[in-house]
Amino acid sequence: MGMDRILKGIMQYRQTVRSNLVQEFQRVRDHPEPKAVFFTCMDSRMLPTRFTQTHVGDMFIVRNAGNLIPHSKFFATENTSTEPAALELGCIINEIKHVIVCGHSDCKAMNLLYDLGTDKEMSTIENQVKSPLRGWLCNHGSDSYDKFKQLETRGFKMPLLFTAETPMKQFVAYIDPKNKFSVQDKLSQVNCLQQLQNIASYGFLREGLASGKIFIHALWFDIYTGDIYYFSRQKKEFVDINETTFPKLLEEVSEFYYH
């Protein structure tokens, strides 16, 4: 498959989808009311609008290698970074209330971050200069890896502590307590929660986060089963969203985020 597949897909779109999509565009026109800023990985297997069943105008979507949001400590040296700009555009200019970080299983970026952490030769400055991907992961994934090492040192049984909306608001997280996933997937889940902490580091979000105008959430997608997990602060772990858990998760979200 090459560009021919893309061009054929565009023709299929014109013949089957375009007219309905144009109607959606016309409905929102110049007044879309997006409900979330959605950070996820650029992995070709991640299709966020499909697995959330969202439509035109529903979300701002930001994708990169590893669904990373650089901590504000990097802002002075990387002041053109897309991710904080997207937070400002979404939450400040468009007054979007919900920011979601969604990681996934078998994340190639997280797999590489794991390898960089275990093989110090791979993560040398020389190798970072040669590889933009390694530089990106070493700069912005190191806090996630350090948290993962805490988990590994404790035999993957003890919880981790993350900063939430404010420095005084923290949450406890048990990562994969049933030991269903690989160590790389455990790192991916840790990374999701670390990004919430990174988001909360930006001063321009401080008032909104502290006053309950902006909320931060974590999702995790298992690409092999199609299951989607929501991090429940009540349960202190990622919970599979299904027919059994949905009512309680909806209640938790409603009570915590809307009152």
CATH code of residue 77: 3.40.1050.10
Does some domain include residue 8? no
In order of 75, 160, 248, the CA distances from 198 in angstroms are 12, 16, 27
Confirm whether 4 is domain-assigned.
no
Identify which of 158, 223, 214 has the alpha carbon closest to the alpha carbon of residue 190.
158
Beta carbons of 191 and 68 less than 8 angstroms apart:
yes
Q: Is residue 90 part of a domain?
A: yes
What are the CA-CA distances from residue 105 to residues 42, 71, 108 (Å)?
13, 23, 9
Confirm whether pTM is higher than 0.85: yes
- 122 is in which domain, residue-wise? 32-258
Residue 252 lies in a domain: yes
Query: Are 169 and 216 contacting, i.e. CB atoms less than 8 angstroms apart?
Result: no
Q: Which amino acid is at 227?
A: D
Domain presence at residue 128: yes
| Full pLDDT tens readout for the chain, 259 residues | 689 999 999 999 999 999 999 999 998 888 889 999 999 999 999 999 999 999 999 999 999 999 999 999 887 665 568 999 999 999 999 999 999 999 999 999 999 999 998 887 777 877 778 899 999 999 999 999 999 999 999 999 999 999 999 988 999 999 999 999 999 999 999 999 999 999 999 999 999 999 999 999 999 999 999 999 999 999 999 999 999 999 999 999 987 665 4
Q: Into how many domains does the chain fold? A: 1
